Structures are given as C-alpha cells and as structure tokens.
Structure 1
Amino acid sequence: MNKEQSSRLYQPVPVQISGNYDSNMAVWRSQRPTFVSNVTLKQPVLLRGEGTQKLFCKRCSFVANLLVKVVRTRDLGRYQTFCLMSYNQKDPSVPQVREGFVNNINCNIIGAIQAHRMSYKDIGFLQKVARTLGFMFSLRRRISRGSVLQLEITGSLPDALASPLDALSVTSIVEVTSNIRKAAHDPRIAALFVKLGPLSCGYAKVAELCRHFDYFRQTGKKIIGYMEIGSEKEILLSLFMDELYAAPEAGISIRGFKVSATFLKGLFQKIGLEPQVERLGVYKFAGDQFSRTAMSNEQREVLKNILQAVYENFRNELSTYRNWSQENVDQVLNSAPFQMSDLKNLGFFTELKYESEVLDLLKLRYCRRGKGVSPSDSMETKEKILRKPFRFVNSKYYSRVKAKQLFIEGKRKIGVIRVNGTIVSGDGGENPLIGSTVGSNTLVSLIRQAAENPKFDAFILRVDSPGGSALASDIIWAELLRLRQKKPIVASMSDVAASGGYYISMACNHICCEPLTLTGSIGVVTAKFSLENLYKKIGFVKETVSIGRYAEVDIESRSFNEDERQYFKNNALHAYQNFVSKAAKSRGKTYEELDSVAQGRVWLGFEALQLGLVDSCGGFWKAVEVAKVLANIGEHENVQLVELRRFSWFSRLAASFLSSLESFGLLLPKYHNTQGLRLSPFGDENIKAVMEALDLFRTFM
C-alpha cells in the first residue's frame, strides 16, 4: 500500500452503502470478523454507532487493522480488531467467490512498519538517575559508555531453543530482538554493529527484525551493517540500517524468487512402495510429495500467489525506503547485477570495505566513550587509537543485562508459551527426520502450570509450527481453552502457523500474525504405505489372521480393499469436519463460510486478515499490546515477560554445577577482547568457553 492509498484509508468520508443495511445489525457489535452479504462499500467509510469505529479500504472493501473501542456489558471498555468484507457477486470491485472457494485477494501487501510500528518512549528523569546509580554500583556486567553492541544475524533464527546447550552455537530471534530493545534504552550502547549472514528463516522473522531496527533508530543511534554473502532477505533487512558495508568481492545475489517441490511417486513405484494418501481439502497438497509425479494446479496456484506477494513486498519496501520507482526495482531484479561496484552504484551499499576496515572505522568513530576522534586530531593520534583494542559488547554477554536494570520492565507479568516445531503426541524434542518437535504432553503440562500460577495477568502463545498430529493439536487446543477461561491469551504467529499450528491458535482470544506469515491450511491428510509389491520383489511373506471387518486396515502387507478405503476416507472426512467446525465456532462464522476459505489452502497473513482467519497484523510486541489491553494493563505501563519452558534434568544439573563452580571462585569472568569474547585473567581459553555456557544457562533458568 503506497502513501497515497494509506492517507486515503485513514480519512473519514461520508458513508455510501448499497444494499440492505440495518444500523442495529448485530455484526457491528460482533467480537469476531464477520462476512456480510448484500453490502457493497463504494469508498473508504467511517461508521459510528454503539461506541464503535471502523475504517474500510476502498480497494478490497475490508476493515483496516485498527484497534476499536467497544463498550460491552458491565460498562467495561475493551479494544477489539475488526475485519469485515462485503460479498456482492454483482460488484466486480470486491473479491468474488467461485465454485465454493475464495479466489486470490488482490490487495497491496503491507510492510513490516505499516503493519505495526513499535514506538520508542524514554523513561523518566528519576528513573534515569536510578539507572545511572545502578550502573555505578554494579559489580558485574560492567559496560563502558560509548560501547558498540555486536550482533551476528544468520541462519534460521529459531523462536525457541530445545536446550540451553543450543545457545552456545545457535542464535535465536528472541536473543537478537531482546538485545536490540535493551540497547535502545541503554545509554552505554552508542551503536549497533550487525554482521549479516545467509538467512534461512522466513519473511515474518525478517519483518520482526526490521521492526526492532526501526525501534532502535528512533533513539538517534546508528546501525552499521556488514555482509559477505546475501540475497533478497538480507537486502530487505539492510533497508533499516544507517550504513551497510560489504566485502569488495562479496557474493550478493539479487535475482528474484523461486520455490520448488519434489515428488517421489515414481521412485516408490520402482522399489515397490505404494503410498495410499487420503486428503480432505482441494488445496491440501501435503501428501502430494508421495502420491503424485508432478505439481497439481492447486499447488502451483498457491505457490505462485506466495511468490507474487513476496515479490511485491520486496518491491514496495525498496520503493519506500530507497525512493525507487517500482519500474526501477523490476529492472534491477531482471538485470540481476553481480558486480559489487554495480550494486554500490545502485545504492545498496555505503562503501565496499573488508570487515577489519569497518572495525577500524568504528574504533575512530566511537572511541573516547563514544565521542570519537575530532578533526584536529593528528594521524599519529588516530594510529594510536587504532592500535588499541576496542571493546565491542558481544551479544551473548549482553543477554545477561536485565531489562529491569534499564527500567523497561514492570511488575505485572505476561507469560510467553512458545510452540516451535512439528506438533506430535507424547514428549517433544529433536527428531532427525522432521527437526524440532513439540510434544502434547510437555505443552499440556506447561499450560496447566501456567493456569495454576496467579502471578500472570495474560499469556502470549508464540506459534512457529507447520502443524502435525491432529490428536495432539486437539489436546493442546482443549487445554488452551481451559486456560483462556482464567486469563486472556493472544496468539502471535511467526513464520508458519498452519494446519495444527492454526488449530491451537484458534483457542486464543486474539490472533496476531505478520503480513507474510504462512497460515491457514485447514485440511487433513492421512496416509498409509503398502509394501505388498516390495515384499514380492524380495521374497518376503507376511500373513495376518484377524477378526473384524476393519481389523487389517492399518497393515502394510497389502493395499486397501473397497470397504477399508471407504473407512479410511470417512475417518479423514470426520477429522476435516471437526477441524472446520471448531474453526468456524472460534471465528464466529458458519460452517459453510469457513469451509469456503479452508479446503487446506495456505494463506499469507495479510490475506488471512481479510478473510477473518486472524484478528490483526503485527509482530510479537503487537501481541503484547493486545494482551495488555485484554488484561486491563495501562497502555504505557511496562510489563515483565516470563518465558515458560521446561528443560531436561541434565541441563538443569549442568547449570547448577557451573553456578557452584563460580560461587567458589573457580570461574572469574572479567574482560572482553576485541571480538567481544570474555576471557579469564589467566588467559585460559577453556575458562572462556565454560563461562559462555554459564551465562547462557543462567539466561534460560
């Protein structure tokens, strides 16, 4: 959405509605996004009545993502986000329904800052005095004024770590964003130095990082970036930096966007495997990898839609923050420049420098407690400064700085429950085939403990999961509903919250997602492999004796007969109807309305908002704001975020052991070297590694 459209969107104009409209219609007081028939909105309108205000978008006729004050019973004020789309089949300006399914929503995608901007607010004078005194009398975690916080952003940036041991080698999105927010309020931190590496995370996490970079820059501090390898994601992130440097021979690839899918049916046929897949939902293509030899039209349609949205987001962000026309962006992508000098001339980089040269630049700029060198300093003085080690603050070390010490943490608590990985029954962990898993037993136990704790005012369910077991998802969903009866819950979707990930999110009072979050996928896939042909090839014989018509429905030694096939299909149909029914009840829709946008289709976050599958667009701190409203916490009142997690007994034992070593004075952390690593005064490199582990264990305990 460009600036002109955005300005029109937020301007109240007279109401012009065609069709039947009742001013007392219950939809205006609904607490859920609702579809309305026979109503066509000709232009942006502002409706007033019953203490509500709503703004509509001219292009796609849906309510903008606004917090709307609603006066409910008991005279309590609440804020609720509405999304209303009119469906009039005679009006070509609104999305049309064809063959029972909703087509692509033709609406400009919104950027990270347009979806939600974190507003910086400084603390009061007395708090600043107390903060300074705290720094003066702090015996540990001493940081010099004018220091530069060094961040290394690369890899998948998971939302949660399976174990504290992972923190030694893996950088999480929580660590990065938390440190950026603390550094914005820390007067000892003068700037950020960000070393960008190849990112394998989704665009939702990129938007979260962009939002935090913008928050840091609101303080007037600078963000300096450096990269050696990168592509479109890293370029998007660099738009929110003040300066970006790259190695003269860096590998920067800006060639466009692609996605691929693999199909194994032909391979299985050669070895004698017969996948018997039953899927409910026209767009539920999760089982196509085993049952097809080529991409279906439905899968191609969804993937093209996702790629088009990602492309438009990239083009719009470059147009906004580099003042380029969209035609110029298209020209750059189609020409795919690979010479670093060409990329610099296009404005992607400030200068081409090696990392050591950038570090020398930062030394001169932020030496002398952040004041830097003066124009009158001689070359000898500058060379002397360059020879001295500059104390960068390492991100792992800075993680131990408490938000309470900076007076950006309050007394009232909001619990954070993270669902990161595939949802499975039983206990979760690391699976060599599917990666990180979330066990229903582990999560249910955590939710029950949260429900029994009276110290929490609200909870945030942070979801980054593609789904998984239908049974496990249903068990978690039911437990979240019980928790919701006691305290409000806000779902915050990260990169992916589809299928089972969306299932558990439905139990929350409010669902918040990023514009490019992959969500929806309301459908069911079940499968069984028949090894009958493989057994014949290798001469293996298996015979089964059974009693009961469907007793052998799950054996692998033969394919389904007709009765078993129908039984298998009915089970999948029952699971799909159950999923859609619960989703419809959760979103305040009829079964038919929800079924038209379900069918296993993956929607992007901004599309899900228009369709009423979510309540608002924004990142984690948008969810915090909504949780504060639902918990009757003041708008400007700081809260304490408490991570609810469980680690293995071994991790806890190791943390206790290392803590006991330090209490006896066997581990003495003191200094930083030029790279920001903490060294023992005795020069023992092993002590350095152990102390890093101790710091991170304490962070997670």
Structure 2
Amino acid sequence: MRVQYAPGRPHRPRDAMLRLPFIALANLFLLLSSLLGAPFRMLAARHRPAYVRFRLTGDPSYRQQRRPRFSLGGGSKPEPSDVTSLERFGEDLRLLAKDARVKGIVLEVEELGLPSAKREALVALLAEFRAAGKRVVAWAVMVDSDSYALMCAADEVLLAPMGRLELVGYAAEATALGEGLSRVGIRGQFVRRGDYKTAPELFTHPEVSDIQRRTVETFLDERYSVLVEAVAAGRKKTAEEVKGLIDVGPFSAQRAKAAGLVDALVSEADLPVHLGLVAAPPAADSKAPAAEEDETELEPLEMYLETVPFPPVKWKRLKRRTRLALVPVSGMIVPGKGNAGGRLATADAVVKGLRAAGRDKRSKAVLLYVNSPGGAAIASEQILEAVQRVAKKKPVLAYMDQVCASAGYMVALGAKEVWSAPHAVVGSIGVFAGKFDTSGLLKLLGIHRTVLTRGANAALLSFSRAFSEGERAALEADVEEMYQSFLGHVAKARGRTKEEIHALAEGRVYSGLRAKDVGLVDRIGGFEEACRHALSLANVTPGDFELKTYGAAERKMSLLRLLMGAAHPQTYAVCPMSWNLGGQEREVLASLADETRWGEWLRQWGRETRD
C-alpha cells in the first residue's frame, strides 16, 4: 500500500500570537544594536579587508551545530577563522560575493579529514564563489593527496617554503592473521554466507584472498581516478602528466613549485605582500630607507563584519522555519543502551531517537544518516522496525556518505528512498558467525579446562575447544536462516526477488555509484540535496529549514562498560572487509580501523553479526 503524505500543517495562529511580543522585543533589541554600532562600522569601513581568511581543518559538520554556553572542559574553542560547518561557510561566501570591495578569500588548509562527499560540496561552494568574479587562494604548510585535490579547486595554490606536498596517491593494507594466531595456539572458527563476506578471513586465512584483493583494488582504482581528474582540471595538465607526477611524489615545496603543482612559495607572514595588500619590503642590498614594519594580517570574517555599516542580522521569525529531523546511526550497531561517541550505535539510543523524531509535529520528514560498517543482527532488525514505524507517519530518507555496510545497509531499508554519496562504501549483504578456539594457547600456558554440558550445543561458543560436527552444523543452519532473512528484507525494500538480490549479495561491496547502477540505492547526491528532497516527499517546499538531531551520540564514554563488553567473546563486530585504505579512505573506513584491536573482536552483542 502506498503511503500518502499530507502537506505540513501550518503553524497555529494562537501560538504565533503568544510568540509575537517576545519576537518583537528580540528584533527591537537587534535593530537597536545594529543602529548603535553603525557609526563605528562606518568609520572602520576604509579598513575593510580585500581578502578574508578562512581556516579549513578537521571535519566540519554539514550544518552549524549549537555550542553550549557553558562547558566543563568540553573540547577546544575554534579559532575565529575556522570553518565550523559547510552551511555557515556557504553563507559567508555568498555574503562576500556581493561586496564589490572584496577581491576574494584565502583558504588555509590544515590536517583535513573530510569524507569525499563533503569535499565535493566544498568544491561546489568555491566554484559558486569564483563564478561571482571572486578569487580563491589556497595556502598550506603540508597537505596530503585529499587536501591537495581540494586546493586544486582554487584560482591559486600556495605552499609555505618549508612545506611539503604528499601527493602519492592511495595505498591499502589488507591483513590476514590466521597464521600468526595459530602460532600462539588460537584458531578462528567462523561460518559465513558468501565468498565475498571476507571479514572472517582476517582471523582464518594465512594470506589475503584474491577476492579481497580485487575488492580493495576496485576501490583504489575509483579513488585514484577521482584524484587524477581533480588535479588535472585544477592544474591544467593531462591525466598522464598527473599520473607521472604522482609516481615521483612526495614533493618538497621547491620540487612542487618546479613541477607546476603549486603557483608560488609564500610564508604565512608574506601572504599580505603576495596578495598586494601591503608594499613589499626593500631588498636587503637596497639603499632605500627601511619603512616602518607593517603588522598587516589577513582578517577572519568577524573582523570583516566590523567594517560593514549594516551587516546581515538574523532576525527572529514570527513563523518558525520548517524542521527536518536528523537521526544518526554512527558506528558499530549493537544492542543495549547509551552511545559511545560515534563508535557504537546502540539500538536503544537510535530507536528512541526515531520515536522522538516521529512524535515531533514540527519535523515534517526524517533524514536517517547512516555511517556504520555493520553490527549485530538483532540490533539492526530492531532499528529497521523502528524506521518502518516512523515511515508510516512521515517520509524517511536514508543517506550515506562514508560507509553503509551490512547491518548499516539493513537499517536503511526502512526508508522511503535510499541516497548515497558517489564514493560511499555500500552493501556487504551477508552474515557470518563464529568464535576463537584457544585450546592450543591454554595448553601452551599449562591451563586445563574441562567443559561440562547439559544439551548437545550448550558449549557452542566456548573458547576452550573447537566446534563439534553437530555444533558447526547448527551454526551453519542458523547463519543460512539469517542470510535468507536478510535477502528477504532487501528484496522487499528494493522491489526485487530474493534470487536477484542474492546475485548482488554474498558480501559484495559497492561504491555509491556502483550501488546505484545495480539498484541498491535510489539516487546519488549530497547531504543538502538529500535534506531538501526529504522535505519535498512531505509536500513541503524546502526553502530555509532547520535541522534537529535526535538520538545523537553521547559525549562521554564509559570505559568500564567497554571493558566489560570486551570480556564476552560470542560475537565479533568487525569490518565488512579486513582492509584499510590510506589517504582519502580514512574518512570512509574510520570506524573500521579498530579491526586490529582485540576489544572489538571479543565483544558480545548476540550470536550472529551482519557485518
């Protein structure tokens, strides 16, 4: 049955009337503040900067996050020039683009860790700014391949004289621990459904399998081609020239300049001189008298606003903005309560977030943001059921920009539409289960254990011995049942037969683009585009809207709880692929890097794991 979504109910007049006095008072205060400050800003107008400085570092959020007024040691405060969100950065660029006295911006790039989707969104914002006739000057001290690809979207690329350009492409390290574990008396015993479900190979194989190798190389090829295309377009070179330069990297600042990968070598102190904002100092052998030292610096946006007589004012609205609910599923999906700072997505926290989003009458639609390598079967089914319940009330759109694999993909199936960024990791439809047989290690240590049971399979998950034939047969039947259930969920959600999904499943992993081609996702797009489309599904005009997060990860993590969880060895929540791509892939597989930590291997969250 097709669910029809009614247009959003308008705000009740009574509520608007009750808010009117407070809105009027707040706006009057804003007006008076703006008028009183105008004379001072007019006096400062002659010092308005021609270039405004922005610092791009870390992983800014898509939308501006409200910071608490009071914090007890809750992280460092961003610098005035820091880009804190793509939303705010876009607003700032559009404001500057309208000012004829502003020539452009200086974008300082430092230690970025952006998903490819955010990088593409930033490139689009810079292209829009440049189309308005403004210049973008990118400057850095040291950048890797990903950061450099972003810098290539600027009009001019500058590097500090002591800097380095780590343009070397991408590398992947696939791991196989089977032989190493056997040397200390540990054997990984796992049952999997699908040759492409390579996660257990990390513990069972002595070498990386050909299937795993081909999977990794497919992602490497795709990411490498994106890098080559970005550098070729930005530096006006052919693809072959770029590939040749990558093969002789990394580069010192001098070599990068000689190769045409950067336009000039400029220290931070000399940026104003390079941009023509101050006169160059006389040469050391010049007889001209030395001018008084000029301490001119590039100013952030807040200093620019102090020179604008009437800067934009965010007036309080009588009519509230349309609200879109955001429910994140970030990290390993596990049963239980609470959340661990994005490392774990507990079923209780996500389900409560979904329920709250469903109850919120102001939220006309829900965006389910999935960034998970997988997790426990029972937890993913709980979340899927909650998504389906909310989807009966209002449209739900699932969006992924990093990794949405196995149980992560399972929870996305309850949405009306599934969207992906072009290079997200998607799929890994399959199931595995197993344990570690530590009997060899116990023998080496002189530890003797006797397993006493009542019931043929009571000691199925005991570490003290290997599976019996009956136990393995029971586990294989259980895994097969779980796999068929997984296929059924996907087939129903995607409008396909189980046979068709099986041909795409068995643990196969796709990029977002390839997932779209085979029908596992509906559309390829960015975060903002997905948000607006979610609202359009509710027949709401997606103009200026606000985003409210439900079920977000808690800031604090219980170390004791994690250690206690690590003491139970019945489920192995590890990555869908036992590999980690360097460079650009650190944002896609950040949560997968824990595959070499014993605590993650030995976590008990149920017996079967879709991951």
Q: TM-score range by the shorter chain?
A: 0.7 to 0.9
Partner of 1:481: 388
**Secondary structure, counterpart of 2:501 in structure 1:** helix
Equivalent residue number for residue 413 of structure 1? 323
The corresponding residue for 2:416 is 509
Of 159, 179, 184 in structure 1, the residue corresponding to residue 93 of structure 2 is: 184
Paired with 1:225 and 1:581, the residues of 2 have a C-alpha distance of: 50
Q: Is the 8 A contact 1:159 1:464 kept in 2?
A: no
SS of aligned partner of 2:174: coil
Give the superposition deviation at 1:239.
2.0
Q: Among residues 428, 439, 444, which one is paired with 2:351 in the alignment?
A: 444
Does residue 153 in structure 1 map to residue 66 in structure 2? no
Please state how far the C-alpha of 1:440 moved relative to its aligned partner. 1.2
Task: Quickly say closer, same or farther: Cα 1:138–1:497, change in 2 above 3 A.
Answer: farther
Offset at residue 403 of structure 1 (A): 9.6
Check whether the contact 2:3–2:392 (CA below 8 A) recurs between aligned residues. no
Q: 1:179 to 1:263 in 2, by over 3 A?
A: same
C-alpha change, 1:270 and 1:224, in structure 2 (3 Å) is same
Q: Hey, what does 2:34 align to over in structure 1?
A: 136
2:543 is the alignment partner of 1:618: no
Paired residue type of 1:644: Y
Q: Which residue of 1 aligns with 2:295?
A: 387
Structure 1 residues 31-46: aligned runs within 5 Å? none
| Preserved contact between residue 159 and residue 174 of structure 1 (Cα < 8 Å) | no
**CA deviation map 1:7-55 (0-9, x unaligned):** xxxxxxxxxxxxxxxxxxxxxxxx9xxxxxxxxxxxxxxxxxxxxxxxx
| 8 A contact 2:198–2:212 mirrored in 1 | yes
Equivalent position SS for 2:456: coil
Q: State the partner residue of 2:332.
A: 422
Structure 1 SS opposite 2:435: strand
1:271–1:507 distance in 2 versus 1, CA, 3 Å: same
Cα distance in structure 1, aligned partners of 2:551 and 2:292: 49
The answer as to whether partners of 2:62 and 2:87 remain within 8 angstroms in 1 is: no
1:280 aligns with 2:193: yes
Deviations 1:503-544 (A, max 9, x none): 111111112211111111111222311111111111222223
Per-residue CA deviation, residues 338-358 of structure 1 (Å, 9 max, x unaligned), is: 243342244432311112222
**Alpha-carbon spacing, 1:157–1:523, altered in 2? closer, same or farther (3 Å):** farther
2:119 is the alignment partner of 1:206 = yes
TM-score normalised by the chain length of structure 1: 0.64
Who is 2:11 aligned against? none
Partner amino acid, structure 1, of 2:229: N
Q: Which residue of 1 aligns with 2:569?
A: none
Identify if the C-alpha distance between structure 1 residues 74 and 423 changes in structure 2 by more than 3 Å, giving closer, same or farther. closer
- Specify the SS of the correspondent of 1:260: strand
1:644 maps onto 2:550 in alignment: yes
Structure 1 residue aligned with 2:207: 294
1:87-102 alignment runs, 5 A limit: none
Aligned pair count reads 507
1:410 and 1:640 in contact (8 A); partners too: no
Q: Which residue of 1 aligns with 2:591?
A: none
Aligned to 1:560: 467
Q: Distance in 2 between matches of 1:410 and 1:402?
A: 19
> What amino acid sits opposite 2:107 in the alignment?
V
| Residue-by-residue CA offset, 1:354-410 (whole Å, 9 max, x unaligned) | 122225556x64xxxxxx99xxxxxx9x97793256542479x99xx9995599x97
Q: Note closer, same or farther for the CA distance 1:647–1:522 as it changes in structure 2 (3 Å cut).
A: closer
Q: Which has the higher contact order (CA 8 A, sep 6+)?
A: 2
The residue that corresponds to 2:177 in the other structure is: 264
What is aligned with 1:500?
Answer: 407
Alignment TM-score, normalising by the size of structure 2? 0.73
Deviation per CA, 1:229-270, whole angstroms, max 9, x where unpaired? Answer: 222211211122232211123121222322111222222112
1:627 aligns with 2:534: yes
Secondary structure of 2:172 counterpart: coil
- SS of 1:245's partner is strand
RMSD of aligned alpha carbons: 4.1
- Matches of 2:5 and 2:312, distance apart in 1: 39
Given residue 34 of structure 2, which amino acid in structure 1 is its aligned partner?
A: M
1:332 matches 2:240 = no
Q: 1:488 Cα deviation (Å)?
A: 0.9
Distance 1:567 1:134, change over 3 A: farther
The separation in 1 between residues aligned to 2:3 and 2:397, in whole angstroms, is 22
Residues 139 and 496 (structure 1), Cα distance of their counterparts in 2 relative to 1, 3 Å cut: farther
Change (3 A) 1:649 1:528: closer
Please give the alpha-carbon distance, in whole angstroms, between the structure 2 residues aligned to 1:454 and 1:530: 52
Seen in structure 2, the aligned counterparts of structure 1 residues 284 and 508 have a Cα distance that, compared at 3 Å, is: same
Per-residue Cα deviation, 1:567-610 (whole angstroms, up to 9, x for no partner)? 11222222221112111111111111111111111101111111
Q: What letter corresponds to residue 286 of structure 1 in structure 2?
A: A
Between the aligned residues of both structures, percent identity stands at 25
Structure-1 residue corresponding to 2:154: 241
Deviations 1:148-191 (A, max 9, x none): 664443446678999986652799x9933122122124359955
Amino acid at match of 1:417: V
Q: 1: distance between equivalents of 2:521 and 2:167?
A: 32
Q: CA deviation at 1:629?
A: 1.9
Question: Contact (CA 8 Å) 1:192, 1:222: kept in 2 or not?
Answer: yes
- 1:468 maps to 375
Q: Structure 1 390/234 Cα, relative in aligned 2: closer, same or farther at 3 Å?
A: closer
Matches of 2:28 and 2:234, distance apart in 1:
38
* SS of residue in 1 equivalent to 2:251: coil
Q: For the Cα contact (< 8 Å) 2:328–2:350, is it kept in 1?
A: no
Alignment of 1:7-18 (within 5 A): none
Unmatched segments (≥5 aa) in structure 1: 1-30, 32-71, 78-128, 366-371, 374-379, 652-701
Task: Provide structure 2 residue ranges, at least 5 long, that are not aligned to the other structure.
Answer: 8-26, 280-287, 558-611
